[in-house]
Structure 1
Amino acid sequence: MDLELTGRTALITGGDSGIGWHTAKLLVEEGARVAITDVDQAALDAAAAGLPGEVLAVAADLTDPADVARLHREVTAALGDPEILVHAAGVTGAQGLFHEVDEDGWRTTMEVDFFAAVRVVRVFVDGMRRRGRGRIVLLASEDAVQPYVDELPYCAAKAAVLSLVKGLSKTYGGEGVLVNAVSPAFIATPMTDAMMEKRSTELGVSVQEAVGGFLDEERPFMELKRRGEPEEVAAVIAFLVSERASFVNGSNYRVDSGSVATI
């Protein structure tokens, strides 16, 4: 299927690894001109070198409004106004039961997992509006609609992302800027690698056993009984930013092996 992405310009946050990197790879293969961003320039350069084409790599701290403004200047100077924005940057954030997480834990998690999305959309959406065309995909999570008691800050942040997506879709859809969410569950990324390595140490088992135990005990509705692969999420994102999704707006696509138990 031709996604009609040749010559389109895209910015992908969290592009140095995981879902962001695989999305960048797929968009480059489809002919898009791509910029990636994350906090570490060396890691970004290494990530860009592994992609099948020329990719702009600009490090930025998305919790700093001034740095987000600089990111906007550098990306637009090099590529023009991006027509596609994929916000994949995020962290697990503060973990523990509600009474164990302090206010700083909440604030830090919300800064990275919610307010960063607000900042990035804010600086790039006007260029899309001027074009009369844009595609924005924000990464949410199964946790947004199925919260887990030991990571409520992350769950709340991702629920806020879903609300933001719906509101943005209503605000800008009529101007040709379509906004959607993708909600993965337990994908094989550096973030979940770290979670499973921690679990393996705490339980005194192998990482593979930690993954199996986590699936059985914490994610019983993931019917495929495995972690998802980042390229499986990237494929859905690529569809949503393409011309093939020209009537999709304000939606949340779950890539979760059935993990969310409701319809």
Structure 2
Amino acid sequence: MKFNIENKVAVITGGDSGIGYATAELLAAEGVNIILADKEKDSVSEAAEKLKTAYPHVEILALACDQDDNQNVLDLAEQVKSRFGGAHILINCAGARGAAGDFLTLTDEDWMQTINTDLMGAVRLCRAFIPQLQANGWGRVVLIASENAYQPYEEESPYNACKAGIINLSKCLSRSYSKDGLLFNCVSPAYVESPMTNAMMDELAEKRGTDREEAVKWFLANKRPHIAVGRRGKPEEVAAVIAFLSSDLCSYVNGSNYRVDGGAVESAF
């Protein structure tokens, strides 16, 4: 399938691994020039080198960016503009689980740290890159939310709230900027294999005195029993939906949220 986005420029945050990297692979195969951005310069540079080897026909650039810092985000946007003339596609895969635990134990600092990363990070990116998309007269923005926005888990209240906010933010922006040729959509994964969920499983394995594989089985049975397919998702399964929403084929999709959750959310709505 041709997505008709050859030679476009895509900025992918959280691009050094997991869903971000899998999305970069799909878009690079479509002839899209890729800017991988992440907090750790070494890891994102290593990921970019792998992409360059696999897809030598497109430009691949690795840039360090901490979305918690507005100046970092502004610097990222300026570097993209200087090198490529501006972005066409913005995909925000960066995020963190943040503080978790009983609601009454979570402090203001816990909440604000999670909000700063998971909600304000997306706000900063959109604010910095929307003018570039407007200048190009064509744009796709995909923000990563979560099943938690629809089916919140009690120990993750800050994360739940932030991901619900991401969906609302995307809908708001879709109403504001569609007249400029920009489309905004969300993807909501559930329990996908990633560095974040691996860290969660390693912590659980240590508590239970077992290994990661057994921790995953326990977690599926006891904490995510509604995942109908009965397994963790794969990054490429989420990336396929993101790639479509980044393409020219989704020209009548705007302000929507796509759940890629293996049936985890019990409600039909």
Coarse TM-score class (shorter-chain normalised): over 0.9
1:12-52 CA distances to partner (integer Å, 9 max, x unpaired)? 00011111111111111110011010111111110101112
1:17 to 2:17 alignment: yes
Q: 2:72 & 2:241 partners in 1: Cα distance?
A: 29
Q: 1:131 & 1:24 partners in 2: Cα distance?
A: 21
2:262 aligned counterpart, secondary structure: coil
* Structure 1: tracts of 5 or more residues without a match: none
Corresponding residue of 1:174: 179
2:13 touches 2:94 (CA, 8 Å); kept in 1? Answer: yes
Q: 2:9 & 2:85 partners in 1: Cα distance?
A: 8
CA RMSD of superposed structures (Å): 0.8
User: Structure 1 residue 131: deviation in Å?
Assistant: 2.2
Give the AA of the match of 1:229. K
1:102 to 2:107 alignment: yes
How do 1:222-241 and structure 2 match up within 5 A?
222-241=227-246
Q: 1:132 & 1:4 partners in 2: Cα distance?
A: 15
Corresponding residue of 1:242: 247
Give runs of ≥4 in structure 1 deviating > 6 Å: none
How do 1:1-263 and structure 2 match up within 5 A?
1-51=1-51, 52-53=54-55, 54-263=59-268
Give the AA of the match of 1:5. I
User: Structure 1 residue 133: deviation in Å?
Assistant: 1.1
2:154 aligned counterpart, secondary structure: coil
Deviates more, 1:204-213 or 1:230-239: 204-213
1:238 aligned counterpart, secondary structure: helix
User: Structure 1 residue 172: deviation in Å?
Assistant: 0.8
1:150 aligned counterpart, secondary structure: helix
Q: Percent identity?
A: 45
Deviates more, 1:127-136 or 1:93-102: 127-136
Q: 1:131 & 1:261 partners in 2: Cα distance?
A: 40
* Structure 2: tracts of 5 or more residues without a match: none
Calculate the TM-score normalised by the size of structure 1.
0.98
Aligned residues: 263
